[in-house]
A and B are shown apart, each in its own frame.
Chain A
């Protein structure tokens, strides 16, 4: 008898298991299925820094949360409706987030007395009644998987390993997800291991069939596709979008891309991705350390490439001196910082946005660097193009501040039409750019474009324009070494004016204020866009009035930023740091902004932000 189907408008599922259980893969595949189905979605992978912490322990728990809906959504969700716990550790670590009445799918096979005691359960929670207020589905996932694979030529271990596919099959049935994408994926992944391929496909099917036959699940759920704008979509993570943005930047500037970098979580995937795209003229160089990475990128920029370096906070610290050099040389350079929890090694796999002031000021001397920050995973693509535009137009290093949440999270992305991408064609200087009084001409490496204040980019190999540059202060126009006090004062101001002038080419800050008469503004930057936006919706759904603005350019700020801030009675600045943007806004615009902070390694929960906003509104 076909089971009843219940309509839902949204669901939040969290897959949690041991690091070795393949939870990230399961989450990725469920996400891909959901994307293909046409829901809007947002994901939050959450995994430990250790590759394989001891099996079955709390530090070894790896989780993946997915929020999907029939309408547009902005976050991976505050709390799951459904928790899949593959072992006692996963249950223990995640149960507190599951609201009472939520669905809990547990793999009973793993609830052995040994595993229970590893995480401090005296009794089996599945049996002792402590889970009474949840909707528990105890399933012997491991043994069901092994049983379904008994005809295959596999060891017990190999068969057990397919249990994540069983779980995926079951959930795909439960939420009516298409599985053909996963089947294709498995075919590619196990191309050379036919027996493992067949086993995984069989486990996936067995999970699906189990849903259909078991009485434990009496209903299936349907979440209709979301009405997104017309177009072709794919699912994309922030790091992938960023890598694609850099490839696109090479194409649009018509420059070869040169990535000089050193591996670091959570930025390494950008290196991995770019190393695949040599046929786009992208060179990748894995250097001996972060300093060498940026050094190579600067050398490549000097030679006429689009130099890029990718890292996380600790790497930025090492690169600081070289970024200062790039400021002095006035050469294009993109510095990508995928921020993670700090200080020091901090929380390598967790998100934070506490490198803003490091990007802004973390160099010796007056060394202004433009900063841009993407606001969602797919926005990393556009942010990379914008960074390339600024770097090449103004001959300056540019900071692109992503973070761990954007890097690993994913969302549907309307694939851009390449013919509509901005034309960023760069022309090198090949002729003398200076006319003397007697009519003769010369090349002046520090004569500036009057509009942008950018200096010429004349690359080695250009006859007649041989010149020397360096980190020692240069005379205005000629570029000779100069210790002249007035010249230094002038050059410091010129470099600052050049960066300030970028504001002329960036869009005004926009405010989202549906009623037009909100008295409270919430302003953020970077990856908090989704949670702040969702919180504002919640406030408005409850009848409150609040305006939202989000900064994409942090140096310089959009020209109208000060005017906007002054329009509101109160300004709230939520940040995953201790108030870095807030400090800049207060210093620059003299506004009495309220800082709201969390540094928990996790994105804001929109309900928490909602409460903060409501509280401020009620006190206006």
Chain B
């Protein structure tokens, strides 16, 4: 046991494990790892009470590079393992690290059920729009027509928008951020950590080997201001270097983008992550172009309160034991016995 009994004053380096990081040089995963390592001390939680559970994929190697408890499990199943851990150990802070293939292809079923249950999990979905570990096949978030090793004539399937999916799955916390924006990434992690229940954080992550530049439109200095919609809770949704684009309602109940000076200020939608109605949050996710990611909102889209599954399960356990814990002998005996003597 460590002899440093912790009143916590941990630093980023305290969360860096001695394992050699084996991602490709230049991979976006490095930036996310560094951001998480420097964010974790902020949680104020002793290391031993934090656990990272991952599936399989490049991104899922994440737990090995941290000094918390961790499990690198099997492809797509991390939410299930994390659910068992979180619901049996509400004292822990449980994080899931997953990729676009891991979470949305093989593990899609588990993801949606974890979200609807609102298990107390912080799910970090590293979306590089490609299968990295298996060397570059298209993924459920790849754009249609993607030429990869497995799709020489272009992929045929329409991609998921992970945030639309999460909202449809009754998620209580839904956010998106980008590997290269350390400050935004950290702010979103902080908001997710403070949320009780499932938090889905989609992180756009560059795979410089198999899908390099997938998010350049959103990152390049000359395009990003006009392409990224940075959501700020309680603020009117405007973007562009001069705030020249604004989000307003369209005639069909959805949203559209117009020049800010073409509308009255009162028409501009004010972002409300806490709205109990998912309609606007959903419409926000639909603003982005599924192929190019043109007009992509980032930030916290939805953040509402609903009792977590863990809490509800713990409450039932407490209620059941209200009149005393179980007596095994009387359970085994039951009510219909006979005696032979």
Pick out which of these stretches binds chain B: A154-162, A458-466, A513-521, A543-551: A458-466
A460 close to B89 (CB less than 8 A): yes
Whether A299 is near chain B, meaning CB under 8 Å from some CB there, is yes
Distance to closest chain B CB from A116 (angstroms): 40
CB B325 to nearest CB in A, in angstroms, measures: 6
Interface size class of B (residues with CB under 8 A): 35 or more
Of all chain A residues, the one with the shortest Cβ separation from B22 is: A481
* Cα distance, A266 to B113, chains bound together (Å): 25
Contact call B67/A466, Cβ cutoff below 8 A: yes
B1 — which chain A residues lie within 8 A by C-beta? 430-432, 462-465
Contact flags B39-63 to A (C-beta < 8 A → 1, else 0): 0000000111101010010000001
Task: Kindly list chain A residues whose C-beta atoms are within 8 Å of the C-beta of B77.
Answer: 291-292, 295, 322
Contact B64 A481 (CB under 8 A): yes
Chain-A contact segment, one of B80-88, B200-208, B221-229: B80-88
B92 contacts A461, CB within 8 Å?
yes
**Among A293, A299, A329, which residue has the most Cβ atoms of chain B within 10 A?**
A299
Q: Which residue of A lies closest to B309 (CB)?
A: A285
Q: Are B325 and A32 in contact (CB under 8 A)?
A: no
Closest chain-B Cβ to A210's Cβ sits at a distance in Å of 26
B13 to chain A, nearest CB (A): 15
Asked if A281 and B325 make an inter-chain contact with CB atoms under 8 angstroms apart, the answer reads: yes
Please name all residues of chain A whose beta carbon is closer than 8 Å to the beta carbon of B53 when the two chains form the complex. 299
Check A285 against B72 for contact (C-beta < 8 Å): no
A235 at the interface (CB under 8 A from B): yes
Q: Verify B71–A295 contact, CB threshold 8 A.
A: no
Q: Which residues of A contact B56 (CB under 8 A)?
A: 471
Q: Is the CB of B71 within 8 A of A468?
A: yes
Using Cβ atoms and an 8 Å threshold, which residues of chain A touch B110? 288, 291-292, 295
**Residues in A whose Cβ lies below 8 Å from that of B48:** 460-466
A296 CA / B67 CA spacing, docked (Å): 23
CB pair A469–B72 under 8 Å, yes or no, is yes
**A233 to B: closest C-beta gap in Å:** 5
* B251 CB within 8 Å of chain A: no
Instruction: Decide if B68 is an interface residue (CB 8 Å cutoff).
Output: yes
Considering only CB atoms, which chain B residue lies closest to A480 in the complex? B19
Nearest-CB residue, chain A, relative to B75: A321
Task: Across the interface, name the chain A residue whose C-beta is closest to B323.
Answer: A279
- Report if A228 contacts B (CB, 8 A): yes
Q: Select one of A280, A296, A329 contacting B83, CB under 8 A.
A: A296
Interface residues of B in 285-303 (CB under 8 A from A): none
Residues of B within 8 A of A299 (CB): 53, 71, 80-86, 88
Closest CB in chain B relative to A493 CB, distance in Å: 23
CB distance from A541 to the nearest CB of B (A): 26
Closest chain A residue to B329, Cβ basis: A418
Stretch at the interface among B179-187, B269-277, B332-340: B332-340
Q: How many A-B residue pairs have CB under 8 A?
A: 212
Most buried by B among A247, A292, A298, A417: A292
| Cβ contact within 8 Å between B340 and A283 | no
The digit string for A136-180, where 1 denotes a CB below 8 A from any CB of B, is 000000000000000000000000000000000000000000000
In the complex, are the beta carbons of A279 and B320 less than 8 A apart?
yes
> Within the complex, what minimum Cβ distance (angstroms) separates B239 from chain A?
38
Whether A292 pairs with B83 at a CB distance below 8 angstroms is yes
| Closest A residue by C-beta to B318 | A278
| B153 at interface, CB cutoff 8 A | no
Given the interface pairs A248-B328, A285-B83, A299-B84, the reply to whether A235 lies near B89 with Cβ below 8 Å is: no
Interface of B is mostly: mixed
Give, as a whole number of angstroms, the nearest-CB distance from A585 to chain B.
Answer: 33
Interface bits B87-111 vs A (CB < 8 Å: 1, else 0): 1110110000000000000000110
B333–A285 CB distance below 8 A: no
Q: A234-B333, A278-B317, A295-B77 are in contact. Are A461 and B83 (CB under 8 A)?
A: no
Shortest Cβ distance from residue B160 to the other chain A in the assembled complex, whole angstroms = 18
- Residue of A233, A235, A303 with most partner-chain B CB within 10 A: A303
* CB–CB A415/B317 < 8 A: no
A280–B341 contact, CB under 8 A? no
Cα(A463)–Cα(B82), bound, Å: 20
Complex CA–CA separation, A248 to B327 (angstroms): 10
A295 engages B69 (CB within 8 Å): no
**Is A397 at the interface (CB under 8 A from chain B)?**
no
Give the CA-CA distance A465 to B47 in the complex, in Å.
10
Say yes or no: is A467 at the interface (Cβ < 8 Å to chain B): yes
A51 at the interface (CB under 8 A from B): no
Residue in A231, A258, A295 with the greatest tally of chain B CB atoms within 10 Å:
A295
A283 and B313 within 8 A (CB) = yes
Q: Please indicate the chain A residues that have their CB under 8 angstroms from the CB of B79 in the complex.
A: 292, 295
B253 at the interface (CB under 8 A from A): no
Q: Does B6 contact A (CB under 8 A)?
A: yes
Contact A233 B317 (CB under 8 A): no
Q: Does A54 have its Cβ within 8 Å of any Cβ on chain B?
A: no
Interface centre among A233, A279, A283 (most CB of B within 10 A): A279
Does B81 contact A279, Cβ atoms closer than 8 Å? no
Q: CA–CA, A464 to B323, complex, Å?
A: 37
Chain A contacts for B63, CB-based, 8 A:
468, 470
Smallest CB separation, A305 vs chain B (Å): 5
A368 CA to B300 CA in the complex, in Å? 46
User: Is there an interface contact between B49 and A298, defined as CB atoms closer than 8 Å?
Assistant: no
Contact A278/B6 with A260-B84, A283-B87, A288-B113 known, Cβ cut-off 8 Å: no
Residue among A296, A418, A480 with the highest chain B CB neighbour number at 10 A: A296
A53 within 8 A of B: no
- Is B80 in contact with A36, judged by CB distance below 8 angstroms? no
Q: Does chain B have a CB within 8 A of A78?
A: no
Chain B, residue nearest A248 (CB): B328
Complex contact B68–A466 (CB within 8 A): yes
Taking a contact as CB atoms closer than 8 A, the residue among B46, B109, B328, B338 that contacts A289 in the complex is B109
Contact with A along B155-177 (1 / 0, CB 8 A): 00000000000000000000000
A-B contact pairs, 13 of them (CB 8 A): A38-B338, A232-B338, A235-B336, A244-B332, A298-B73, A303-B88, A329-B71, A415-B333, A431-B1, A462-B1, A463-B46, A464-B3, A470-B73
Interface residues of A (CB under 8 A from B): 32, 35-38, 181, 225, 228-235, 244, 247-248, 251, 256, 258, 260, 277-281, 283, 285, 287-289, 291-305, 307, 321-322, 325, 329, 415-418, 430-432, 460-472, 480-481
Which 7 residue pairs across A and B have the least CB separation, nearest first? Answer: A295-B80, A299-B84, A470-B72, A296-B84, A464-B2, A278-B320, A280-B326
Given A298-B84, A418-B329, A466-B68; 6 other pairs, CB 8 A cutoff: A278-B317, A279-B321, A292-B80, A301-B84, A463-B1, A466-B69
